[in-house]
Each structure stands twice: as C-alpha cells, then as structure tokens.
Amino acid sequence: MSIETFISEFDLKRTMVYELIASGELPSVKVRGRRLISRSVANEWLRSMDPSGPAYSRLHQTQQAS
C-alpha cells in the first residue's frame, strides 16, 4: 500500500510514518520511486504496538468504527 493509504487507514500523521520508516520500526520498500508498505507488514506493525499506549487504542477505535 502507498504511504498515503497507510496514513489514511491507520489515522497517523505523515511525519510520524516517515520517522517510523527511517528508524526501521516500519519496514517499507521503494518500487519505481514510490515508497510502499505491504499489508502484512502494516498488520504486523499494528499487532506489535503496546496495547496500553494511546496510539493503539485510537487505531482500534478507528478500525471498529469502519
């Protein structure tokens, strides 16, 4: 998925996503100049989040509303 799709689906700020990518916490690949995140990597990243953290609960509230 594109960075834009990831940002939209997980309700994150662009800066945070690029910081996660730069730190290696969120693996991505570059294909023909586009930075992409696989769906399985995105889901694994979500599962690895601290369940007591605010981002985790906010993401789950957003997904349940969908």
pLDDT tens, residue by residue, 1-44: 999 999 998 888 999 999 989 999 899 999 999 999 999 999 88
CA-CA distance, 60 to 28, in Å (whole number)? 22
Distance CA 62, CA 21 (A): 22
Residue pLDDT, tens place only, 32-51: 999 999 999 998 888 887 66
Its pTM stands at 0.71
Amino acid at 47: R
Specify the DSSP element, H or E, that contains 62: helix 54-65
pLDDT-derived band at 64 (thresholds 50, 70, 90) equals low
